[in-house]
Amino acid sequence: MISMMQAAVVSDSGGVNFAEIERPSEPRPGWVLLRVAYCGICGSDLHFLGSPLAPAGLVMGHELTGIVDSVGAGVSALSEGDRVVVLPAERCSPGDEQCPSCAEGATQRCHRQQSTSIGIVIPGGFAEYVEVPASSCFVLSDESSLQVAALCEPLAVALHAMGASRFQPGMDVAVIGAGPIGLLTIAALRHLGAGEVGVSEPSPYRANLAASLGATTVVDRATRLSTTMAKSPEIVFECAGRSGTPGEAIGLVRPGGEVILAGVADPAEMLKISSIIWVVKEVSVQGVIAYTTEEFGKAVELIESVEFDPSLVISEIRPLSRAGESFAELMGPNEQAKILLSVDANEN
Exposure letters 218-236 (e unless 16+ CB within 10 A, then b): bbeebeebbeebeebbbbb
Residue type, 132: V
| Mean pLDDT of all residues in 194-205 | 97
Residue 215: DSSP 8-state: -
Neighbour tally for 322: CB within 10 Å = 18
pLDDT in tens, 283-326: 999 999 999 999 999 999 999 998 999 999 999 999 999 999 99
SS3 315: strand
Phi-psi region of 2 (alpha: psi -120 to 50; beta: other; left: phi over 0): beta
| Mean pLDDT of all residues in 171-185 | 97
Measure CA 83 to chain center. Answer: 20
Alpha-carbon span 86 to 230, nearest angstrom = 41
pLDDT in tens, 102-133: 999 999 999 988 888 999 999 999 999 999 99
Domains of the chain: 4-151+310-342 (3.90.180.10), 155-287 (3.40.50.720)
Confidence of residue 1 (pLDDT cuts 50, 70, 90): low
What are the residues whose beta carbons fall under 8 Å from the beta carbon of 288, sequence distance 6 or more?
157, 160, 161, 164, 260, 261, 262
Q: By C-alpha distance, which of 183, 315, 194, 164 is closest to 240?
A: 183
| Mean pLDDT of all residues in 227-235 | 96
Question: What pLDDT score was predicted for residue 346?
Answer: 64
Confidence of residue 344 (pLDDT cuts 50, 70, 90): confident
pTM, two decimals, is 0.94
Question: What pLDDT score was predicted for residue 100?
Answer: 93
pLDDT in tens, 246-286: 999 999 999 999 999 998 777 777 888 888 999 999 999 99
Cα 114 to Cα 14, 109, 127, 147, distances in angstroms: 22, 9, 22, 28
Neighbour tally for 81: CB within 10 Å = 8
| Mean pLDDT of all residues in 9-33 | 92
Residue 223: DSSP 8-state: G
Question: What pLDDT score was predicted for residue 192?
Answer: 95
Q: By C-alpha distance, which of 326, 323, 298, 341 is closest to 138?
A: 298
Average pLDDT, the chain: 93
| Mean pLDDT of all residues in 77-102 | 91
Question: What pLDDT score was predicted for residue 25?
Answer: 87
| Mean pLDDT of all residues in 66-95 | 93
Percentage of the chain beyond pLDDT 90 is 81
Q: Sign of dihedral through CA atoms 24, 126, 128, 132? A: positive
Q: Sign of dihedral through CA atoms 155, 96, 132, 67? A: negative
Bridge partners of residue 118, in order along the sequence: 122
115-118: long-range contacts, CB 8 A cutoff, minimum separation 24? 116/89, 116/90, 116/91, 117/62, 117/88, 117/89, 118/61, 118/62, 118/64, 118/86, 118/88, 118/89
Instruction: Decide which of 55 and 337 is more confident.
Output: 337
- For the chain, what is the largest distance between any 2 Cα atoms, rounded to a whole number of angstroms? 69
Residue 2: DSSP 8-state: -
Question: What pLDDT score was predicted for residue 348?
Answer: 41
Cα 309 to Cα 51, 181, 285, 316, distances in angstroms: 35, 15, 30, 16
